[in-house]
A and B are shown apart, each in its own frame.
Chain A
Amino acid sequence: AQKITQTQPGMFVQEKEAVTLDCTYDTSDPSYGLFWYKQPSSGEMIFLIYQGSYDQQNATEGRYSLNFQKARKSANLVISASQLGDSAMYFCAMSGVYNFNKFYFGSGTKLNVKP
């Protein structure tokens, strides 16, 4: 069975600084995908970044990067140059790598960016 663990219920970061949100996972599947989603107070889940288990390089998307350490089964999200609009819930999720797969989500981290 797949399991995602996010151990930081809440995080504070100063505007313009970088922040790392932790995510560890457990799976017996040889191939899998890891996702990060942002959920603002409006409730909609916004896709941020993806990392495949066989990807050789860490994924990056603008100010978001994923620190993927396969041996440690961790997939931490790094947000550089934090902005006030980054304040939201952040969820780590895992799925299989096939075309259609349900997601397994962690419990989330509430990020607050201070001016």
Chain B
Amino acid sequence: GAGVSQSPRYKVAKRGQDVALRCDPISGHVSLFWYQQALGQGPEFLTYFQNEAQLDKSGLPSDRFFAERPEGSVSTLKIQRTQQEDSAVYLCASSFDRTGSGATYNEQFFGPGTRLTVL
């Protein structure tokens, strides 16, 4: 399909394991965002890429969280030494470049998320 895809959809990890979550944005989308959504809460910003450059990582909760987008398309969110509080849905979103279009907003297109459960 033409939407944002994420894999795996579900991931169960034992405490202390490392996990890697993948996001395939919509083709041609310049921006890519990662959000963390705890149960019963709204998504919270983690990090943002413009092409391959990580311009904002202020939302990453600890240095165990690391994200990359080496070729400006697919992105991976890695969590090292997972802990139970990392259990959440991790959402990826992308948007295209509206520079010069006159548009004053830029909607984000979200993937279905990866539900991470840390036991």
Contact A45 B42 (CB under 8 A): no
* A6, A46, A91, A100: the one within 8 Å of B50 (CB): A100
In the complex, the number of residue pairs spanning A and B with C-beta atoms less than 8 Å apart equals: 73
| Contact, CB under 8 Å: A107 / B41 | yes
Q: Does A102 lie within 8 Å of B45, measured CB to CB?
A: yes
**Total interface residues on A, using CB and 8 Å?**
28
Q: Which residues of B contact A52 (CB under 8 A)?
A: 104-105
Chain B interface size band reads: 20 to 34
**B42 contacts A91, CB within 8 Å?**
yes
B105 contacts A45, C-beta separation under 8 Å: no
| Residues of A40-69 contacting chain B, CB below 8 A | 42-47, 50, 52, 54
Query: Which B residues from 54 to 100 make CB contacts under 8 A with A?
Result: 55-56, 59, 89, 91, 93, 95, 97-99
Known pairs A100-B48, A100-B95; A44 contacts B107 (CB<8 A): no
B95-116 CB contact bits vs A (8 Å, 1 = yes)? Answer: 1011100001111111111010
CB nearest neighbor in B for A92: B42
- Nearest Cβ in chain A — how far from B99, in angstroms? 6
Is there contact, CB below 8 Å, between B43 and A101? Answer: no
Q: B109 touching A47 by the CB < 8 A rule?
A: yes
Closest Cβ of chain A to B35, distance in Å, is: 8
Given contacts A35-B107, A44-B111, A101-B106, 8 further A-B contacts (CB under 8 A): A42-B112, A43-B112, A43-B113, A45-B43, A45-B110, A50-B107, A102-B59, A105-B43
